[in-house]
């Protein structure tokens, strides 16, 4: 209690000091400060509160919300996020009378007003958002707190270790911790989470990943390499690797999908520089004689993953954190990515043998050739991915069994 009083005095002083700056920020960047200070009126007799931080967590919150709404259509939900991009995702998926809002500022005056308006019976916190007042005041309000898709990195544990005595108090207020992995679970237990409350499941992101056989494959005579969601700095090593491979493997097609369509001109320039015949998806030029097919359209990447003999997932040779390796893996396609892949799906894909991480640009052509020249290796990689996805699907189903039981036990009549 004394610690919370000291913490709130500090928060109050900071708000008084930076209040004018926050107001100016809100005006310049059109930030919805009125939602952050709970300047609105709602009256929910009870609700389920789902809280996330930014884009990644908001996408997981969206999955939780949509699945739970199907199971409990009469239950009222309030969804919050810290950032504008996160709130945008939530607002796009929410169905009235449910609401999506900016999270209240970390101060009792705003949080208590929020709690009185929405009366949440459950607070589902996505990943690891540790806001002291949110946790403490929600617990005092009688709200049960559940950490969903819980994640704690080595850096996060190291950063929180000096205040472990305080974090332990906050963690004691949680009803349950549903963690992504055993390593995440070990870290959160070391920081003080009661072991009896910690369960290891998986990332909620696997809810949208199942073995995919629904897409009708596009026909092409050549063997196909797909390089999906490429970012700046990755176009040249991909084109160079492909050019090198074609010296010994002439019957190949490279399908390149930049993450941002505006970069298609850089890919065209590289194709011309290396003497590769190219065509654009936007023009419908999917011909047999081309070397490189540039996907300058949105929403069609899975059509090309479906026909790939091997796939490289971009955002991973350069430090962008990588994009979703489950997209090609769901088709049973062998997957390659670079050292900067930080997607939740990467470790289980590597562990099961469905994906290979390379450390340098120079390794890429050799790894592509290894898979292209060994059909049995490619088959084993694809089957391993499908088995892993089936297992993760079972774990995700367990997630929603647990969450559904919590709703039934705590929400009351619905």
Q: Are residues 383 and 267 in the same domain?
A: yes
User: In the chain, pLDDT over 90 holds for what percent of residues?
Assistant: 70
pLDDT classification of 274: cutoffs 50, 70, 90: very high
410 CB-contact burial (10 Å; exposed 0-12 / middle 13-18 / buried 19+): middle
Q: Are residues 253 and 183 in the same domain?
A: no
* Residue with the larger pLDDT of the pair 34 and 214: 34
User: In the chain, pLDDT over 70 holds for what percent of residues?
Assistant: 90
**Distance from CA of residue 187 to its chain's centroid?**
20
Q: Are residues 173 and 249 in the same domain?
A: no
Residues forming a β-bridge with 255: 226, 293
- 81 within a domain of the structure (yes/no): yes
pLDDT classification of 140: cutoffs 50, 70, 90: very high
Q: Is the confidence at residue 202, as pLDDT, over 60?
A: yes
- Residue holding tokens 């176009």? 235
- 114 within a domain of the structure (yes/no): yes
Q: Read off the CATH number of the domain in which 93 is found.
A: 3.40.50.11720
- 19 within a domain of the structure (yes/no): no
Q: Are residues 365 and 252 in the same domain?
A: yes
* Residue with the larger pLDDT of the pair 32 and 100: 100
Q: Are residues 319 and 403 in the same domain?
A: no
The per-residue pLDDT for 93 is: 94
Q: Is the confidence at residue 25, as pLDDT, over 80?
A: no
- 313 within a domain of the structure (yes/no): yes
Q: Are residues 192 and 303 in the same domain?
A: no
* Residue with the larger pLDDT of the pair 108 and 98: 98
Q: In whole numbers, what is the pLDDT of the chain averaged over residues? A: 90
Q: Are residues 275 and 168 in the same domain?
A: no
Q: Which two tokens stand for residue 34?
A: 């009125």
pLDDT classification of 54: cutoffs 50, 70, 90: confident
**What's the rounded Cα separation, in Å, for the pair 282 and 262?**
13
The per-residue pLDDT for 393 is: 84
Length of the chain: 414
Q: Is the confidence at residue 32, as pLDDT, over 80?
A: no
The per-residue pLDDT for 73 is: 95
- 4 within a domain of the structure (yes/no): no
Q: Are residues 227 and 356 in the same domain?
A: yes
Q: What is the extent of the structural domain holding 81?
A: 32-206+395-410
The pLDDT of 387-405, averaged and rounded, is: 90
In tens, the pLDDT along 207-242 reads 766 555 555 566 778 899 999 999 999 999 999 999
**CB-based burial, 202-214: b 16+ in 10 Å, e otherwise:** bbbbbbbbbbbee
Q: Are residues 247 and 190 in the same domain?
A: no
The per-residue pLDDT for 37 is: 83
The per-residue pLDDT for 39 is: 85
Q: Read off the CATH number of the domain in which 294 is found.
A: 3.40.50.2000
Long-range contacts of 38-45 (CB under 8 A, 24+ apart): 38/104, 38/110, 38/113, 38/114, 38/117, 40/101, 41/117, 42/78, 42/99, 42/117, 42/118, 43/117, 44/76, 44/78, 44/117, 44/118, 44/119, 45/119
- 145 within a domain of the structure (yes/no): yes
pLDDT classification of 284: cutoffs 50, 70, 90: confident
Q: Which two tokens stand for residue 393?
A: 């699907």
Q: Is the confidence at residue 134, as pLDDT, over 60?
A: yes
Q: Is the confidence at residue 301, as pLDDT, over 60?
A: yes
pLDDT classification of 111: cutoffs 50, 70, 90: very high
Q: Are residues 62 and 197 in the same domain?
A: yes
The per-residue pLDDT for 298 is: 86
**What's the rounded Cα separation, in Å, for the pair 414 and 412?**
6
Number of domains in the chain: 2
The 3-class SS string of the chain reads CHHHHHHHHHHHHHHHHHHHHHHHHHHHHCCCHHHHCCCCCCCCCCEEEEEECCHHHHHHHHHHHHHHHHHCCCCCEEEEECCHHHHHHHHHHCCCCCEEEECCCCCHHHHHHHHHHHCEEEEEEECCCCCHHHHHHHHHHCCEEEEEEECCCHHHHHHHHHHHHHHHHHHCCEEEEEECCHHHHHHHHHCCCCHHHEEECCCHHHHHCCCCCCCCCCCCCCEEEEEEEECCCCHHHHHHHHHHHHCCCCCEEEEEEECCHHHHHHHHHHHHHCCCCEEEHHHCCCCCCCCEEECCCCCCHHHHHCCCCEEEECCCCCCCCCCCCHHHHCCCCCEEECCCCCCCCHHHHHHHCCEEECCCCCHHHHHHHHHHCCHHHHHHHHHHHHHHHHHHHHHHHHHHHHHHHHHHHHCCCC
The per-residue pLDDT for 144 is: 97
Q: Are residues 289 and 366 in the same domain?
A: yes
The per-residue pLDDT for 288 is: 85
Q: Are residues 180 and 265 in the same domain?
A: no
Give, in order, the Cα–Cα distances in Å from 196 to each of 146, 164, 178, 241, 268.
13, 18, 11, 51, 57
Q: Which two tokens stand for residue 37?
A: 């200070």
For residues 392 and 209, is the Cβ–Cβ distance under 8 A? yes
The per-residue pLDDT for 212 is: 56
- 8 within a domain of the structure (yes/no): no
- 361 within a domain of the structure (yes/no): yes
The per-residue pLDDT for 31 is: 58
The pLDDT of 374-379, averaged and rounded, is: 96
């Amino acid at each position: 209690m004394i610690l919370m009083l000291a913490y709130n005095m500090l928060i109050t002083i900071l708000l008084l000091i930076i209040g004018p700056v926050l107001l100016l920020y809100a005006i310049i960047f059109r930030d919805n400060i009125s939602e952050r200070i709970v300047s609105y009126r709602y009256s929910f007799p009870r609700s389920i509160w789902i809280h996330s931080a930014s884009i990644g967590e908001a996408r997981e919150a969206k999955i939780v919300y949509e699945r739970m709404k199907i199971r409990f259509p009469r239950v009222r939900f309030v969804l919050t996020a810290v950032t504008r991009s996160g709130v945008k995702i939530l607002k796009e998926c929410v169905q009235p009378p449910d609401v999506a809002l900016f999270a209240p500022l970390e101060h009792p005056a705003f949080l208590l007003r929020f709690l009185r308006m929405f009366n949440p019976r459950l607070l589902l916190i996505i990943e690891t958002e540790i806001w002291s007042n949110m946790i403490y005041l929600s617990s005092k309000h009688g709200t049960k707190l559940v950490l969903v898709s819980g994640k704690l990195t080595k850096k996060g544990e190291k950063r929180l270790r000096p205040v472990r005595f305080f974090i332990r108090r906050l963690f004691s207020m949680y009803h349950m911790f549903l963690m992504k992995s055993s390593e995440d679970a070990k870290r959160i237990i070391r920081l003080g989470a009661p072991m009896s409350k910690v369960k290891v499941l998986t990332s909620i992101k696997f809810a949208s990943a199942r073995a995919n056989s629904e897409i009708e494959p596009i026909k092409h005579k050549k063997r196909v390499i797909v390089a999906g969601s490429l970012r700046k700095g990755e176009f040249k090593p991909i084109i160079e690797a492909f050019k090198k491979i074609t010296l010994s493997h002439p019957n190949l097609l490279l399908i390149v999908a930049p993450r941002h369509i505006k970069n298609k001109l850089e890919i065209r320039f590289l194709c011309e520089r290396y003497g590769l015949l190219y065509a654009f998806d936007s023009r419908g030029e999917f011909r047999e004689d081309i070397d490189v097919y540039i996907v300058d359209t949105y929403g069609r990447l899975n059509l090309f993953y479906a026909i790939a003999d091997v796939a490289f997932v971009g955002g991973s040779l350069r430090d962008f954190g990588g994009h979703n390796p489950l997209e090609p893996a769901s088709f049973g396609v062998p997957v390659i990515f670079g050292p900067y892949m930080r997607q939740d799906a990467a470790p289980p894909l590597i562990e099961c043998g469905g994906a290979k991480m390379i450390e340098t640009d120079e390794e890429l052509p050799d790894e592509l050739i290894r898979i292209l020249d060994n059909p049995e290796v490619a088959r084993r990689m694809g089957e391993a991915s499908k088995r892993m996805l089936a297992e993760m699907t079972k774990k995700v189903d367990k997630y929603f069994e647990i969450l559904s039981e919590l709703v039934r036990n705590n929400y009351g009549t619905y």
